[in-house]
Structure 1
Amino acid sequence: MPRVLVIDDDESVRGAIEALLRPENCDVVLAENARRGAELFGTSPFDVVMVDIFMPGMNGLETIKDFRRADPEMPIIAMSGFRFRSAGMPMPDFLKIASELGATYCLSKPFRPQQLFEAIDVCVRLPAQRRRAVSVRT
């Protein structure tokens, strides 16, 4: 049973992920911000960490860097619903940046349940030495 830490400032997103993963025999731990997620990460073992890119205070990119330093082999799933792009004002590809910082898998919100299950499955099944190399995007 994989133990998954979900860090997202949106209560409905946390609740939806929990509702999807619990029936799949995942032990889900929820954190409402990066600070709380870091506390939990530092005191309890996890098999996978899911982190939203945009949160108040410490953002997900900083969180990924910190977690990657603390545990280079921890599978990290980055999530983002950021969609503010325009031809006149191009924005960086934040999921690509997350991947470059060490996210194992990236999900664009909203994602389908099957995409979530695939991300967890890939992260849990990867041999430790390849967990940083996958960086799949949906």
Structure 2
Amino acid sequence: MRILKTNFNNSDTNKKDDLEQITEVLLNYIEGTANGQPERLRKAFNPNFNLYTVEKDTLWIRSGEKYISNIKVGEKSNRKGSIISIDIEKDAAIAKAEIIVPNWRVFTDYFLILKYEGTWKIVHKSYTWRELLKA
């Protein structure tokens, strides 16, 4: 995992704690999808979240619960994910991640992450992708 950019002053202890917690949330998503661990996705996401993307100039909205239900327990994939950036302000954060599915696509994920009831949760995910050249 790599974090290329964060937006906070290194002397701010609370934001360091928040950064660690947000990183854990994002890793629950990245590693949970790669390793067939839907329970980790449920820890990462607000139960009412949706996924948003545009395909052929049409907005597609997908149920978060349906997305999680497609992750089969123990079914690993060859996805490789990395955190590109995290930007935190008080109880709100945005993050960007890149997911590479070899010989298929590179997904760019954008997350809205909020801290409520003492916990950071992904409340919104939008994404796009580009095709990879076949090796």
TM-score normalized by the length of structure 1: 0.26
Name the TM-score, length of structure 2 as normaliser.
Answer: 0.27
Q: Which has the higher contact order (CA 8 A, sep 6+)?
A: 2
* Structure ranking higher in strand proportion: 2
Name the larger-Rg structure: 2
Between structures 1 and 2, the one with greater helix share: 1
